[in-house]
Amino acid sequence: MFPIRIEIIPTEGIVEQVQALVPKTTTLSVTCLPHHGIERTMRTAVELSDAGYTVVPHLAARSLRSRAELTEIVRVCDAAGIREVFVIGGDRKEPAGVYDSALPVLEDIAQYSGGMMRVGVAGYPEGHPLVSPVDLLDGLLAKQHLAMHVVTQMCFSAGKIHDFAALLRREGVHLPLWAGVAGSVPRTKLVALAGQIGVGSSLKFLSRKGPLARKLLSGDRYSPDSLIAGLESQPGNIAGIHLYSFNSLDSMPGNSFPAGPDQASTSALQAALIRGAARDN
């Protein structure tokens, strides 16, 4: 079984929901949405870290207002015992400050933390609507000496993820690869949650992703079981599963997770996150 991390959205009440349903042995990734801002991500991450969870806040480069703000985030993480962050370019049309891509954020984090902060970066098995494949690959090559792993965008094809892993190795990117996977959620709940968190436009993006994705948007429930089985067929390619949860933690049968770091049960998780591709070059 792959190790699994769960991505949550820093909405109202999520800390209490996590504490009620998720064991403290589970690693949580806290996303950063443009209309929420980094402040809400950091506040939620610190609260969960204080509650005993291992937490990985997301930092969107184009949402950072200044280098001083990044320095303060590194200080807050250190004080809260947060030892890892996930850095993307972010999908703001215009940068809020001096950072317009992930690489300079990684460079400054390494400087401000003395190289002690672990950093994950994004990968795109199915490409990116705004960045060419060559630029995406060059970006990973430039960032890999500052990063500890790659987390993929949500993908519904084990073949595409395996092909992406092979491409990275062939081109000299040797970072461990975490596969971005969605669980299941009813179509009506999917649409409602997507609108609530401001990613309704991603439904159109998802609907173009093939038969599995179209099934998710039909009246049926999509199950990740076949995708996980496909990933397990070549386990050496994948370091773990990054599960996009849509905060549907109470949908899990029995609300149960096995003990151990990053060891949420794949088959038990009933969640989904619809997420547009974040600009990251």
Phi-psi region of 3 (alpha: psi -120 to 50; beta: other; left: phi over 0): beta
Q: pLDDT per position in the chain (281 positions), as tens?
A: 789 999 999 999 999 999 999 999 999 999 988 777 899 999 999 999 999 999 999 999 999 999 999 999 999 999 999 999 999 998 788 899 999 999 999 999 999 999 999 999 999 998 887 889 999 999 999 999 999 999 998 887 899 999 999 999 999 999 999 999 876 665 555 555 545 444 344 455 455 555 555 555 555 556 678 888 899 988 788 999 998 887 878 654 334 444 444 544 333 333 333 333 233 34
Element (H or E) spanning 177, and its range?
strand 177-182
**Which pair of tokens denotes residue 160?**
């595409």
**The pTM is what?**
0.82
Contact present, 64 and 94 (Cβ < 8 Å): no
**Which pair of tokens denotes residue 87?**
């850095």
In sequence order, which residues have a C-beta less than 8 Å from that of residue 132 and are 6 or more positions away?
none
Token pair 């996303």 in the structure block, residue: 31
